[in-house]
Structure 1
Amino acid sequence: MNPPFTITSQILSLVAEISEKVGNIKAFQQSGGTDHKRDDLRLRRINQIRTIQGSLAIEGNTLSEEQITAILGGKTVIAPLKEVQEARNALKVYGQMERWRFAARDDLLRAHKELMLGLLDSAGQYRSSGVGIMKNEEVIHLTPPADMVPTLMANLFSWLRDSEAHPLIKSCVFHYEFEFIHPFADGNGRMGRLWQSLILSDWHEIFAYLPVESLVYQYQSEYYRALNESTNQADSAPFISLMLGLVLNSLQAFIDDTPQVTPQVTPQVGKLLMVIRGEMLGKELLALLGLRDRRSFVRLYQEPALATGLVEMTLPEKPTSRLQRYRLTLLGHEVLRTISCQG
């Protein structure tokens, strides 16, 4: 049985915007030099700390980013033991994200066991009793009976494996359905956010450390409101829209924080960028550039443009195909605009 959700025009627009920004980030990462890679690793570490701090703060943990950084470094932190344990567990689990398979139920249980180690007797096991989600001493969501949880989770993972929906949409739907089922006695919020990041990181590695959780923390009221609206409508569209908006904001913040390394553009590559229109064959580019020697074209124009991520092949798996065409990447368009302004 497929989870009920509607793909609205707003959702489609957000998916397109996010995909464009991910492509932009990928192009910059591919074109960056040693300094860029070092800065990227630094930002990964910072953002992972922000992710963990945000996710724990939503659950009432009061540790700051500085304290979590200190725990990561093995230093002693003066704070409630439970909160320190929560941070240690989260650091370990997020540090092993490459190990978890997003479509494997057993990996979800193992991750929950490590996340709740020393905090919950039933860590790594589905709940054995009913749970009511409270807000201001009022039950706002009565979860499905405990004996239904294994079947509901099995169905959800089956859908996750087989669905052809875009990973951005699948991640949000899974997150919402996971919170609706509330499969564990505790730690459901942390696990839902972790697993959405895991699903997205399978699509692009940046989502393994993008601090979406810190924005969820800032917009907690909207987060819970979207969960409730989706439940009331029996359609997770409101939650999908909210989460995609937060993902988009996180990507923009990442771009703003990342040193933008513009590759060195030789005069030949600059000329190539200026003649490409849409997707073009190599012989068409050769003619537009007024060149006769194909080997010089490949060595001085084509290869440097491809290596710096300014131009890409339409058939990268068949680099020597006679049908091969070339087009500007997002980074190529940005550099071309810079060249045009300077001209």
Structure 2
Amino acid sequence: MTGKTSAEPPYRITSEMLNLVAEISETLGRLSAPMDQAIALRLRRINRIRSIQGSLAIEGNTLSEAQITAILNGQRVIAPPREILEVRNALAAYERFPSWRPAVEADLLDAHRVLMAGLIDEAGVYRRGGVGVMAGNEVIHLAPPAARVPELTAELLRWLAATDAHPLIAGAVFHYEFEFIHPFADGNGRMGSLWQSLILTRWNPLFADLPVESLVFEHQGEYYQALQESTEQTDSAPFIVFMLRMILAAMTGATPQVTPQVTPQVGKLLQVIQGEMSREGLQAALGRQDRKSFRERYLQPALTAGLIEMTIPDKPKSRLQQYRLTNRGRQWLLEQGFGGLT
């Protein structure tokens, strides 16, 4: 235990946590270096899109980063209306983000109202019935009775306002305890992520658009396992460690040098790749017949820059070899406005 409040959530401070906090703090120092304003704005936009996509995907939204980019740009997207509304609500929440205060109940309820407007009847109010945390079809946690939600949430917010725990620790503790209480009928996952980001942003503004949620989505099984282990141990240490690892990974991938210089030929290649494609398919899509020229001017430079990757990297000459975009390649396309509507 740490801190001095009367309603202290149960958690241990471990050497692994302290090492992760130190490493995150060191990385923050590097990310705080002066950056060209235009690059910084593009990076923030990309990371915000990734954050929204990740937080919504955890709860079943299927829209891609490209589709979210299109919605942000006011373009028409063919997708389920509910999923489009979820994205619009998330975009609206990020606009309100700077005005919310982490330990204020009215702001917490307002954030839920914005996120869930038009999606559920109980947007902005605590749930009135029982709920559970699901991992696939499995219930991994039955939340406390609805009658206790106001009291438990108020207690958690009082702890947050008074704790002397490091913000990186306090944010993860709050996130776990929030998911344990599960105060709303729906949207608890995205609210927990949003509020942890808010806690961290009040400590350092660089966290406002850090795409932690996209990493959590990629490690969704570990996320639920960490929640379950913390509940079983009555100690949120496993969840704290998991979240600190995700934060560090997101920070490592958020540095601006991931955007490389791209030749016109490689740019065209990135624009035609759909899923996984063979060399022959790529050449046909580009209208290139000379195999050697295609490899030297299109394929190899894209591979070397880490913009595309082989599906069978240990057998580069396999007749089954195909190529697909990497995260770096997708990021370049988003930066250039080649989001697409597929």
User: Normalised by the shorter chain, which TM-score bucket?
Assistant: 0.7 to 0.9
Would the aligned equivalents of 1:43 and 1:258 in 2 still touch at CA under 8 Å? no
- TM-score normalised over the length of structure 2: 0.72
5+ residue gaps, structure 1, are: 261-343
Residue aligning to 2:172:
172
Separation in 2 of the partners of 1:42 and 1:256? 9
Deviation at 1:137, TM superposition (A): 3.8
Would the aligned equivalents of 1:71 and 1:77 in 2 still touch at CA under 8 Å? yes
Separation in 1 of the partners of 2:194 and 2:25? 21
Query: Cα deviation per residue 1:211-247 (whole Å; 9 max; x = unaligned)?
Result: 0000000000000000000000000000000000010
Residue aligning to 1:16:
22
Would the aligned equivalents of 2:9 and 2:173 in 1 still touch at CA under 8 Å? yes
Q: Does 1:2 align with 2:16?
A: no
Separation in 1 of the partners of 2:101 and 2:217? 26
Separation in 2 of the partners of 1:215 and 1:230? 20
Query: Cα deviation per residue 1:159-190 (whole Å; 9 max; x = unaligned)?
Result: 00000000000000000000000000000000
Separation in 2 of the partners of 1:134 and 1:15? 29
Separation in 2 of the partners of 1:193 and 1:96? 15
Q: Does 1:102 align with 2:108?
A: no
Query: Cα deviation per residue 1:67-110 (whole Å; 9 max; x = unaligned)?
Result: 11111111111000000000000011012211111111110100
Separation in 2 of the partners of 1:139 and 1:92? 31
Deviation at 1:135, TM superposition (A): 3.7
Residue aligning to 2:64:
64
Structure 1's 134 and 254: CA in aligned 2 closer, same or farther, altered over 3 A? Answer: closer
Residue aligning to 1:221:
221
- TM-score normalised over the length of structure 1: 0.72
5+ residue gaps, structure 2, are: 1-6, 261-342
Q: Which of structure 1's runs of 4+ aligned residues deviate more than 3 A?
A: 134-138, 256-260
* Number of positions where the alignment pairs a residue of Structure 1 with one of Structure 2: 254
Deviation at 1:259, TM superposition (A): 7.2
Separation in 2 of the partners of 1:190 and 1:124? 14
Structure 1's 217 and 135: CA in aligned 2 closer, same or farther, altered over 3 A? Answer: closer
Would the aligned equivalents of 1:39 and 1:258 in 2 still touch at CA under 8 Å? no
Separation in 2 of the partners of 1:258 and 1:160? 35
Would the aligned equivalents of 1:128 and 1:147 in 2 still touch at CA under 8 Å? yes
Structure with the greater alpha carbon radius of gyration: 1
Separation in 1 of the partners of 2:240 and 2:255? 22
Would the aligned equivalents of 2:152 and 2:181 in 1 still touch at CA under 8 Å? yes
Determine helix, strand or coil for the equivalent of 2:254: helix
Residue aligning to 2:54:
54
